[in-house]
Amino acid sequence: MANFTIRPRRSEDLDACLEVLQKVYKDSGYPVNGPSLPFLQGPQTLSTWVATTEPPISSGSPTDHRMLGHIALATATDTDVAVHLWRSQNRPEPVFVLQRLFVDPEAQGQGIAQDLIKAVVDEGRSRGGSVVLFALIKDQGAMRLYERLGWTEFGRAVFGEGKGQGVEMEAVCYLAPTE
C-alpha cells in the first residue's frame, strides 16, 4: 500500500467516498441504514477529512489517488445519543461529535483511522471543545480502536432511528482523551 495523506474533503471526493462506504457496509453493516450521500453530508457537519493514497511521483496528477477513508466533525445536537447522554450528566463543557468514520476494508490496520481521528480531535480542541462519539455495541472493532487510542467510556445509551421504529441497539459513548 502506498503512503496516505489526510486532507479536507472536497465536493469531487463524494462519489469515491460513497464507493468506499458501500464496501464498508458490505463488510461490516456500517452505517446501519446503508450508505448514501445524505449520510456523508449531514446538516450538523462542520468539517470533513479524507485519507487518500499519495499520487505516484511519476504521475504528476493531483487526482491520481485512491480514496481510503473518511471522517467528519459535527456540531453537538441532542439527536446524537452521545451528546444527549453528555448533557444529561450535567456536563458544562462544550462538545463536538466525531461522525462518519470509515476506512476501506482493504486498507484497515495501517493507521488511517488513527490519523483521521487525530484530525477531528485537533479541530474540536481548536474550536474550544471536547469531542464525543458513540459506537454501537455490535461494532467491537471500532470500540477496541477508540479504547486503544485512550477514549474514555462515559456511559451507554440506546441508538435507534425514529425511537421505537426499526431496530434499536445499545451504543457506547466515548470522550476523546484530553491530550
Average pLDDT, the chain: 90
If one counts the domains in the chain, the total is 1
Of residues 72 and 33, the one with the higher pLDDT is 72
d(CA 117, CA 111): 10
Residue 167: count of CB within 10 angstroms of its CB: 8
CATH number at residue 37: 3.40.630.30
**DSSP-based helix, strand, coil % in the chain, nearest 5:** 30, 30, 40
The pLDDT tens digits for 107-162 are 999 999 999 999 999 999 999 999 999 999 999 999 999 999 999 999 999 987 65
Domain of residue 129 covers 4-175
Which cell is 38 given?
A: 445524505
* Residues 150, 156, 160: CA angle, nearest 5 degrees: 120
**Can you give the pLDDT at residue 55?**
64
Q: How far is CA 120 from the centre of its chain?
A: 9
Categorize the per-residue pLDDT at 1 as very low, low, confident or very high, splitting at 50, 70 and 90: very low
Taking only Cα atoms into account, the Rg of the chain, rounded to an integer number of angstroms, comes to 16
Q: In the numeric block, which cell numbers belong to residue 9?
A: 474533503
Cα(56)–Cα(73) distance, rounded to whole angstroms? Answer: 30
Phi-psi region of 54 (alpha: psi -120 to 50; beta: other; left: phi over 0): beta
Lowest mean pLDDT among 13-17, 106-110, 157-161, 167-171: 157-161
Total-model pTM: 0.89
